[in-house]
Structure 1
């Protein structure tokens, strides 16, 4: 449900962004006075930095046995690890890498639940809002540290929350509701699409110094801006999802989306899953599960180390790769197997390795295999997009997101497309979304046109057509037969829509005397569906419109206009008889 925050943000003193990621999350902010003076060299503050491994914090959260928020990020990891050492963790709730629930679950509701690492359940919106609340409070503290003598009031801040572009409308509304529950007023909140935010940032900083040096071999070469007319593909490789969009730079500096946002769940966590599967196979599933249950602190350490290690694995490495594996894993193995784990070089299920102490050395081919499936899926998907008619003339591939910093992925993209496209990887690619979200908050109209991923329509009624409409759709109202399952189309898949464009006005006339009209909203990949209740159409929620009660029944009709060009759905309804605006909203969570 979109807001008018693009107008509000012009009067705000600060724009603050929260990047809620699958593996890492963070916040950043900037001041309006700095943006107004020179937004091309805007100073962005507040990016979290701990442990030297990331400038954001792990997306994990800990609740105490009473279900109250305890800690977030590295603090949550460390606190939970300490609890496991004394077996005090059983009644606590520990959630990590749960954001993908909003991508994988097509039926998100207010009552959707998350399961923690032990299978215990908690209301999903409570978990999400707790993290947003923590990041909001940290942001406010950091802002006021910067302006201690002035002080910034909360109503002087415009907030931006990032979401993947491939998320459903229900998932976006879920995040808005979680932010409201966390204390962010809806009229002070914009939703930014992650690949667009990264694109906005890179449009400001232009081509990275790293890419210029790789291309020209010159130290300190100036940055080259993307010129009007440039068409480029944004590959946002995050922890959970791969989010792709294709955009063109316009003469006025705005961005036009030329191909609908798409992608899949092939992010960096797939590599982590492959590594865990590798370790599990080495010791056996029962032993691995026992190790996780007893030594959560060591389990966390394994993947902290791997997060750094996987950024160093590259195609040109020829030596063995050494991973750090805690000795307690070997202890658990020997205790459960009642036999020693071989620490000498040998073959384990056709895998050559050496395991001594806390060092596991594997053949480089084994390390590279961890990336094979994920990289192949991403390359194939990019290839399919670039083969589309709409993307012809795409000259650049802009790689952003934390997983884009992996040499294995960047090399796979360059090997396949580098001979015809310029592959650009900005410095600190993992922070591009967060920094771009701040810029988006100052100018939400910078992406001026988007392409529809679906055909949207409303279930409506019209006179029944004998021998044409299915009998199952037939209903009698005031002596007349109606078809009650007509798909009233508002916009179709692949259609380009400006952000401020209202689709065609459609008139709706209530068939009874109710005070509120609630109509079902459907999406489909068909261009011209006739009926809603088919396997090709998906119900996504309701459009609620308040109806006038002070006019005759015959004059209670309303005109409905929807906007699809923003990052969220929005609607405007007008009473036909009086031309007055009446309250209307999308309610996509039930």
Structure 2
């Protein structure tokens, strides 16, 4: 009898996380199960997800250790401790945090111990708090360890539900396959950090794989259409834009439909992109608006704990935000008594409650909505610029994608351009459900047959110094040949927007040469870097170039007589020289490496990230 198999989809999000699962390969997508029994989940949010936040409480008197609270268990008015949130945004920290992101992280009480000074200097909302009140650093843990703790709590809750559903013995005997979703634009470093946290959290699966969030969302959305009457709306050659509007980020990617029968396949039609303009930034805009509405003095009288994420005031606002559809109905927000306003008709206050109008809420939504529409415009233009037909549809998923006002604004935008808009059932859990869909596919064929490189990829090499093109800042003297060299000269191996077929992986061989004095020194390394700009620089030190990983090749087990022996006639010192190749294979959004010497794989190749 074949071993029972269960596929679990883990969607670790910026503000909310979700888990889906199924043991039925042929089940319709609507029958994929979603964990919904999160402890402390309130009525103002769907139980499909749990807040991605965690806090550490001091031990009870006479006891040691800390007590962990997470998700909706955290009560800001009860737990006067730092709340760690927005942690996902720190995993791919290749860019300096923008001022507005710093402010958002303060609102969510994330780890901003190193940036609180910037916040207090540049943002009047928090200037009154004073540096001594800034959120302290993580409790002796780095961001990956904090995420590990959160994912461990999510795992325990998930496994408890699965054991209750299948029984302890049956669940223990099942083959477990975990699909972890990651942003499409994430670096290899960020993917590695995510998997490090997942494994450290005890997700003891027989197989752990990653799938990009847009691919998971597209898989769920397209399968939903195929399994419904909406199948007639799509045809070979159609292109569509997928907009994943989440809590922290809004990510877009476009696809072209290449096959429908017997198996659905799409190709990326344009390079995906996104911005940090998700639903949580609307909370920040609300606080900006509130400060102007009631005045800075009254606003600053409100304690920080009563205007941060999870406070009563912000919960009231979030409930109105989630249900806002552009009308004036029912937008009541209870303000803390410290603001000193009980009744004021001019300020729309009654019994300490602020009654916002629809137009005021639209003002709060406007910056984020405008940025989403700009992203969609940019993606549509990119599809047309790549020579494809105009997108037929925009698919809207994600937590922010549930909002009816955002949907209406995108619908209005699309109608002017004769583009349709579709929002699948369960848009908030579309990524977790789609991850399960992808994992249930018995063969290795992905729904995405061709991807596009999201940037240039290459290595910085040393070459003979040429004063006409090299800066003296790059100059160095080779210790083996005594020649003057220029370091960090870029050799771009993969171009931005280059096609990467799933069935025919792109293989790149990097010709390299290393020199050493003894066999024990036969090691070398190469740093893979990337650039997402449209024009790639020539020097690896350029500010638009970011490291991806460092590849280490160890050839100490190759007989020393195999290598060329050379002599530095200036010093009379002999050395060995090995000309070899580092082979990189790009497939499925991942990179694998081999070290080749004289055409054969030799030694060992390892990859490290700047954890």
Alignment partner of 1:507 is 2:503: no
Q: Tell which deviates more after alignment, 124-133 or 464-473.
A: 464-473
Q: Which residue of 2 aligns with 1:235?
A: 243
- The 2-side partners of 1:207 and 1:155 are apart by 30
The answer for the alignment partner of 1:359 in structure 2 is: 353
Cα deviation, 1:222-255, whole Å, max 9, x if unaligned, reads 6646333321100000011010000122224122
Distance 1:313 1:292 in 2: 27
**Structure 1 residues 475, 188: closer, same or farther in 2, change over 3 A?**
farther
- How far residue 104 of structure 1 moved from its aligned partner, in angstroms, is 5.3
In the alignment, the residues of structure 2 paired with residue 121 and residue 311 of structure 1 have an alpha-carbon distance, to the nearest angstrom, of 31
Deviation at 1:284, TM superposition (A): 4.5
Residues 575 and 581 of structure 1 are in contact (CA less than 8 Å); yes or no, is this contact kept in structure 2? yes
**1:433/1:173 Cα in 2 relative to 1: closer, same or farther (>3 Å)?**
same
Partner of 2:219: 200
Larger RCO, structures 1/2 (Cα 8 Å, 6+ apart):
1
Alignment equivalent of 2:9, drawn from 14, 17, 20: 17
What is the CA distance between 1:260 and its match in structure 2?
Answer: 1.1
Q: Secondary structure of the residue that 2:323 maps to in structure 1?
A: coil
Which aligned pairs between 1:330-349 and structure 2 lie closer than 5 A? 330=337, 332-334=338-340, 341=341, 343-346=343-346
Instruction: Give the superposed CA RMSD.
Output: 3.1
5+ long unaligned stretches in structure 2: 60-64, 98-109, 114-132, 565-576
Counterpart for residue 607 of structure 2 = 586
Find the residue that maps to 1:250 and give its secondary structure.
strand
Q: 3-state DSSP class of the match of 1:416?
A: helix
- Hey, what does 2:571 align to over in structure 1? none
Q: Check 1:156–1:517 CA distance in 2 against 1; reply closer, same or farther (3 A cut).
A: farther
Q: Indicate the SS of the match to 1:204.
A: helix
Instruction: Pick closer, same or farther for the CA change 1:589–1:321 going to 2, 3 Å.
Output: same
The count of residues paired between Structure 1 and Structure 2 equals: 536
| Ranges in structure 1 where 5+ consecutive residues have no aligned partner | 1-9, 84-88, 210-220, 335-340, 347-352
Distance 1:245 1:578, change over 3 A: closer
Counterpart of 1:421 (choices 415, 419, 422) is 419
Distance of 1:560 and 1:498 partners within structure 2: 21
C-alpha deviation, 1:56, in angstroms = 1.0
Instruction: Give matches, 1:163-174, under 5 Å.
Output: 163-174=182-193
TM-superposed deviation, 1:30: 1.2
Q: Deviations over 1:296-336 (max 9, x none)?
A: 79962222232231233223x2x46532305xx13x133xx
CA separation of 1:245 and 1:306: change in aligned 2, threshold 3 A: same
Q: Which deviates the most, 438-447 or 136-145?
A: 438-447
**Does 2:42 correspond to 1:57?**
no
- Among 564, 567, 578, the residue aligned to 2:589: 567
Assess, with a 3 A threshold, how the Cα gap between structure 1 residues 69 and 197 changes in structure 2: closer, same or farther.
farther
Contact residue 64 and residue 93 of structure 1 kept, 8 A: no
1:484 aligns with 2:487: yes
Equivalence for 1:215: none
Match of 1:29? 21
- TM-score, normalising length from structure 2? 0.79
Partner in structure 1 of residue 179 of structure 2: 160
**TM-score, with normalisation over the residues of structure 1?**
0.82
- Of 544, 551, 562, which residue of structure 1 is paired with 2:552? 544
The superposition leaves residues 233-289 of structure 1 with CA deviations (integer Å, 9 ceiling, x where unpaired) of 000000110100001222241221121120101111121111122333344556545
1:272 aligns to what SS in structure 2?
A: helix
* TM-superposition CA deviations, 1:153-194 (whole Å, max 9, x none): 498312122222233333222212222222246983222221
